[in-house]
Amino acid sequence: MKKKILVACGAGIATSTVVCGKVEQLVKDNNIDAEIIQCKIAEVASKQDEADLIVSTTILPTTYKIPAIIATSYITGINTKALDQKILDHLV
């Protein structure tokens, strides 16, 4: 079954683009069928019903019905392997 991942940042442009690339490579490297949807954090609430996971570069303003992971490690380059594993744990 195809997974849907929301990648969100404050404006939906800069940091989410970096994280999108990392998540796309991660699912590809692990043969996971997934659609990555880049969006603004403000759009997540309306999109969560059609997604399996939220990967955010910013503090989440609320709680959601689906798991949410803060992905600042992809921006800082610190503990990226742990973040990779955390994302994979939610997808497989």
Catalytic residue list: 9
Q: Which residues contact 79 (CB under 8 A, 6 or more apart)?
A: 73
Q: Do 75 and 56 touch, CB atoms closer than 8 A?
A: no
